[in-house]
Amino acid sequence: MFKDIQNELASLTAESSRGPDHLFNAMTELARLEHELDTIEQKAFLDAAGTVADRQAIARLAASQARFERDIAKAKLERIKLKVRVLDTNIGALQTQARLIQAEVKL
C-alpha cells in the first residue's frame, strides 16, 4: 500500500512538473492570438466605410473567427490552470495518506 502511494506520488509529481511548460505554451499562444485578433479588427476598422458604429460592427464581424480562436485558447489556458491545481490537491492528499499509514505502522 505504501509503495503504491509512493508510485502514485512520483507519477503525479512528474506530471505536475510539466505544468509550468504547458502554462507558458498556452499563455504565449493566447498572446499570439490576441495580437492577431487586434490586428485583424483594427485593419478591418480602417478599411471599412460608414459611421463609427458601422465600422466597429464590420470590424467585429471580420474578426469573429480570430475572436473565437482566442476564446478557445483562453479556455485551454484555464483548463491547464485547473489541472495543475487538481494535481497539487491530489499530491497533498496522497502525502497525507502516506503520513497516516506511516503513523499507523509506527504504532
Rounded average pLDDT over 6-18: 90
Whether the full predicted model's pTM is greater than 0.85, yes or no, is: no
Cβ atoms 105, 6 nearer than 8 A: no
Q: What is the DSSP secondary-structure string of 21-76?
A: HHHHHHHHHHHHHHHHHHHHHHHHHHH--S-HHHHHHHHHHHTHHHHHHHHHHHHH
**pLDDT at residue 105, as a whole number:** 82
Give the pLDDT band (50/70/90) at residue 34: very high
Quick check: 107 pLDDT over 80? no
Q: What are the b/e assignments for 79-100, b being 16+ CB within 10 Å?
A: ebeeebeebeeebeebeebbee
Identify the CATH number of the domain in which residue 30 sits: 1.10.287
Cβ atoms 9, 81 nearer than 8 A: no
Rounded average pLDDT over 11-28: 94
Rounded average pLDDT over 28-36: 98
Rounded average pLDDT over 10-33: 95
Give the pLDDT band (50/70/90) at residue 50: very high
The tally of domains found in the chain comes to 1
Rounded average pLDDT over 49-69: 97
The parent domain of residue 99 ranges over: 2-106
